[in-house]
């Protein structure tokens, strides 16, 4: 299995306000790297107090941090060609879209899967499928609501779920979870036509 697990923390309710990003890289069903970036959001120096209470990141922590567009090339290289998994993936995907839109960056056609859906298919009778509860269920200790720790736990739980479901190949994920897989950027046939016409006229 090859995929990346991703987690964002945000400074405000705005989807472009990422203040931390964590990515855990899985190759051949083994975690090979976990990394994170503190990010200076567009709202800086304003952080919502509720968000601070959740993740413990303060404006002074990102004072000298790069903005999202400054780390994107490194992030994009990690994402390229990989399935992206996140816990409550609709949130993390919306933050990624929000950041890319804010800086006018083209969105990659990355496929993503929610680890909540993966967990529900693997362990059918849990009271809660929150990340902390799943970690407790599997006796995994971590620093909840910091992006690198959350991403790594998401990866560990996903690996356990794949093992429980006897999924060993990337293509099996696409087959079994075809209805759950989403694409970060869907380009319609009409948009392809518009882009093609623009290219023709520019040439």
* 134-157 confidence digits (pLDDT tens): 999 999 999 888 999 999 999 999
Q: Which two tokens stand for residue 8?
A: 């964002």
How does DSSP classify residue 13? S
Which pLDDT score is estimated for 201? 60
The closest of 110, 101, 117, 92 to 20, measured between CA atoms, is: 92
Give me the chain's average pLDDT, please.
Answer: 92
Domain around 164: 3-202
Domains of the chain: total: 1
> Does the structure show a pLDDT above 90 at 202?
no
The closest of 98, 106, 18 to 57, measured between CA atoms, is: 18
Q: Which residues are registered as beta bridge partners of 37?
A: 21
For tokens 């989807």, the residue is 15
Give the helix/strand (H/E) hosting 158. Answer: helix 147-164
Domain containing residue 56: CATH number: 3.30.420.10
Which pLDDT score is estimated for 191? 46
Predicted confidence (pLDDT) per residue in 182-199, tens digit? 998 755 444 445 455 555
Give the pLDDT mean for 15-22: 98
pTM of the model: 0.89
How does DSSP classify residue 72? H
Spatial contact of 21 and 39, defined as CB atoms under 8 Å apart: yes
Which pLDDT score is estimated for 124? 93
């Amino acid at each position: 299995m090859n995929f990346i697990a991703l987690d964002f923390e945000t400074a405000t309710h705005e989807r472009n306000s990422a203040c931390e990003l964590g990515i855990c890289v899985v190759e051949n069903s083994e975690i090979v790297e976990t990394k994170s970036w503190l990010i200076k959001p567009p709202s800086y120096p304003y952080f919502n107090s509720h968000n601070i209470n959740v993740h413990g990141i303060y404006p002074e922590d990102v004072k000298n941090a790069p903005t999202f567009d400054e780390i994107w090339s490194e992030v994009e290289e990690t994402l390229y060609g990989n399935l992206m998994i996140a816990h409550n993936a609709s949130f993390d995907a919306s933050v990624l879209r929000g950041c890319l839109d804010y800086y006018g960056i083209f969105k990659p056609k990355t496929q993503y899967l929610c680890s909540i859906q993966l967990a529900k298919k693997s362990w059918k009778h849990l009271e809660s499928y929150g990340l902390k509860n799943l970690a407790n269920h599997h006796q995994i200790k971590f620093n909840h609501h910091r992006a690198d720790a959350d991403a790594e736990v998401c990866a560990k739980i996903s690996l356990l779920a794949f093992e429980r479901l006897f999924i060993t190949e990337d293509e099996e994920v696409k087959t079994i979870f075809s209805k759950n897989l989403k694409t970060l950027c869907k380009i319609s046939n009409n948009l392809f036509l518009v882009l093609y016409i623009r290219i023709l006229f520019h040439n």
